[in-house]
Amino acid sequence: MLSEILEDEQLVRRPTTAFINLSRLKHNLRYIRSLVGPDRKIMAIVKANAYGHGLVPVARALLNYGADQLGVAFLEEGIALRRAGIHAPILVLGGLIGNQVRHFIEYNLQIAAASSFKIEQVDEVASEMGQKAEIHLKVDTGMERLGTHWDSTETLLAAAQRAKHTKVVGVFSHLAESEHSDHSFTKKQIERFQYVVDMCARWGFRSIHKHLANSGGVLYHPDAWFDMVRPGIALYGVPPCSGPSPLQPVLRLVSRIVYFKVVGEGSSVSYNRTWTASEDTRVVTVPVGYGDGYMRALSNTGQVCIRGRRYPVVGNVTMDALMVNLGPQGVGYNGDEVVLIGEDPASRVTIGVHEIAQWSGTIPYEVLTTINTRVPRVYLEEEEESSLSTLA
């Protein structure tokens, strides 16, 4: 399998590598802990391959650093964590298909129960298996994605009370625009969720976890914290809003120059000839492309850092390579490191995730989660220089 080859330390691989700095991950978790206090639980979200950082290694690290439980999107992610020997509570946040229920119970995964029908399905399968399922009630306070509408919570609670083989361990909802400068809709969602929490208490569900705050909720809306928070992208050092932040970026994506050439005036570069040299110039090729998650939308808009200077990506990004224009006088040679995401250690020039998102017309979440699994991850335990020098 490709994953086994990427982990084979005896092989000299292509130089494109994602360095994951676990000490920064620890810093970010501790910063979030300092905000929400010691008494609230932290559900660390590790869905989508831990936002591109590597599901199992990051989940283990977060639990070691003090996260109380984990959250994933799909059943398969939860099973992968269980098969890796992780025993902490895991909530699967995504929608539930009825024939999956037995797997949730078999692997001791907490279920997001979004309707009374889903609760009945879970309870029936749990009864047949002679086991008890754990569920978090999912209510919709304005996202309109999953969950019973907040003002119909009683139907959900009635179904939960009828269920004999199902234990309610939490109730939750999701904020639709917690990073928005206009807080009015988020305030409305918080008020709606408080109504749900109060109703749960009246129905006897008092000791369950109440969680609403995603990363934006954690960073910008203390009223959304309740007794558990669900940070995602903030754990990885990327705040939902651009600007100064005490969070530290965890991922650094780098490669190396593998080819150098002089492109003559009037010559075009890459597929569909979208860029033409206006003068004789130096162009280098880097072995990373949209097949790795470096998006094609960065064609003729993205920048990289070589030898402490920013240079533009020119021509269409291809599946396995991109080209960079160094200009007539630019300096770059075969083997030189190319910073695609993150900081150049020597110059401190940084290619930020928010910048890349802006260049490609998307959001930071997509920039991180599209980094393909064929890009090897190297995990740094300490604040050490994440350079390719040891891999050359």
Domains and CATH numbers, the chain: 40-236 (3.20.20.10), 251-391 (2.40.37.10)
HSE (side-chain half, CA atoms, 13 Å) at 92? 26
Stronger pLDDT, 1 or 244, i.e. the higher one: 244
Segment 268-280 mean pLDDT: 97
For 177-241, give the DSSP string: -TT-S--HHHHHHHHHHHHHHHHHHHTT--SSEEE---HHHHHH-GGG-TTEE---GGGGT--SS
Instruction: Label residues 210-230 b or e (16+ Cβ within 10 Å = b).
Output: bbbbbbbbbbbbeebbbebbb
Q: Which 3-state string (H, E, C) describes 85-124?
A: CCCCCEEECCCCCHHHHHHHHHCCCEEEECCHHHHHHHHH
In angstroms, rounded to a whole number, what is the distance separating the alpha carbons of residues 123 and 169? 14
Which tens digit of pLDDT belongs to each residue from 23-74? 999 999 999 999 999 999 999 999 999 999 999 999 999 999 999 999 999 9
Choosing from 167, 188, 271, 333, which is the catalytic residue? 271
Choosing from 26, 31, 41, 47, which is the catalytic residue? 47
Three-state secondary-structure class, residue 351 = strand
Residue 271 annotated to the active site: yes
The single residue listed with the structure tokens 């609403």 is 212
User: How many residues does the structure list for the chain?
Assistant: 392
Q: What is the pLDDT of residue 391?
A: 40
Residue 47 annotated to the active site: yes
Q: What is the pLDDT of residue 10?
A: 60
Q: What is the pLDDT of residue 14?
A: 79
In angstroms, rounded to a whole number, what is the distance separating the alpha carbons of residues 149 and 155? 10
